[in-house]
Amino acid sequence: MAQNPIAAPTGLWDGTIQSKAGEVTFGIELQKQPEGTLQATLINATDRQPFSSADWKDGVLTLHMNYYDGVLTLHSVSPMRLEGEYSRLTSKGMVHIPVVLAPHQEVAPGKPWTGLSLWGDWLFHWSGEQGAEKTTLAKFDQQKIANADGHVAVTGVIEPVSGDTGLLHGSVFKAPDGQTRFHLSRFDGIHVLALNGAFQPDGTLKGEQGGIVSLTSFTAECGKNVASAADPNALSETLTRVKDPSEPFRFHGIDQSGKTVDQDSPRFKGKPLIVDIMGTWCPNCHDEAPVLEKLYQKYRNQGLVIVGLAYEYIDDTQRDLRQIAIYREKFGITFPLLLAGTTDQGQIAKTLPQLVGFGAFPTSIFIDRNGHVHAILAGFTGPSTGEKYQEVQQRMDQLAREIVGRSN
């Protein structure tokens, strides 16, 4: 007698991944479509990210993230539990990350929170190699009402010069030892990140940030020192420069047909040009892509051209061009994207030797009609940064106008 097939899971599910700094949590929404197919969405607080496809067969749920060349494969252990892994190709080879899903459990609201708060702007100090330290800004928002379990919901974003982490989510809570602690995390197909720490008696923060293999300690402060810290949006214009501004900028890459294209192509030569150094694996590049397409549509009739130079994880031209094509389709990009190299150490110096201080994907280079670099913006602050996201778009629009109108 044939067994009844296991029904496809639907509704909201809570996912967990174990990192070096504790659990990374996220949500997955599964919806059955009228034609019988599944639609899946990855959720980090208010951030919703659709999977490329969702399949259910013989008790196995397969969720594809084609745009990151990743796949989440989960096996039904019981009606209340799915177990499996997220696999993705990286510069170090394939990674396989254990994942567990369970049906979402709503937590009832509790009392107003009267304890310490993460709300506001913070300056983070990160420990580095051989005593080196780097600083980044961060911004958090905390609810006023705690849940019945005593945890109060928090969201936030960390803002290095290279861009931002995307929206982190978690809670602040009172630990059994009486210390007020916090835990936030994010999984988006690239980031697998947890932030775990505690409030110190002097009002500062102390804790650790961890991924699957990495663990970094931090301290953070809120107040006047934050206001005086350098803004990532300002630092982005000084991080990277060219050795000789009087020298025309040179680049090259492979288009979808396999042809090598460079700065002397009739499509680029003598035109105001934005060269975008990016990678299809880069979440901040995904945030920037629709902004660049919008700029292109706005100023193309005034001569503006844009070209993306993709640096991918591995030296596999066929695979890399496929990922670039997926990236183009995802954002409806109508300007050219070229495969320029890999993310291996030294690749930027080898392929773009005129650059000094390169340190962020994406990096956008604004070039005038004579081929000279007018400005360079390193990194991109995405939608999770709120006002800074608007500011960087305004700055990019201003620089586009400047190179469109500049004749020398």
Per-residue pLDDT tens over the stretch 179-231: 999 999 999 999 999 999 999 999 999 999 999 999 999 999 997 566 555 55
**Confidence (pLDDT) at 128:** 72
**Confidence (pLDDT) at 348:** 96
Domains and CATH numbers, the chain: 11-103 (2.40.128.120), 109-227 (2.40.128.120), 232-405 (3.40.30.10)
Among 73-82, 216-225, 326-335, the range with the most confident prediction by mean pLDDT is: 326-335
Q: Is the pLDDT of residue 42 over 80?
A: yes
**Confidence (pLDDT) at 227:** 54
Model pTM score: 0.93
What pLDDT digit, counting tens, does each position of 236-289 carry? Answer: 899 999 999 999 999 999 999 999 999 999 999 999 999 999 999 999 999 999
The angle, 0 to 180 degrees and rounded to 10, between the axes of the packed helices 283-299 and 387-405 is 40
- Token pair 């951030």 is found at 47
**Confidence (pLDDT) at 355:** 98
End-to-end Cα spacing for the chain: 81
Q: What percent of the chain has pLDDT over 70?
A: 94
Q: Is the pLDDT of residue 320 over 70?
A: yes
**Confidence (pLDDT) at 127:** 87
Give me the DSSP letters along 17-41: EEETTEEEEEEEEEEE-TTS-EEEE
**Confidence (pLDDT) at 231:** 56
Q: Across residues 137-166, what is the average pLDDT?
A: 94
**Confidence (pLDDT) at 2:** 43
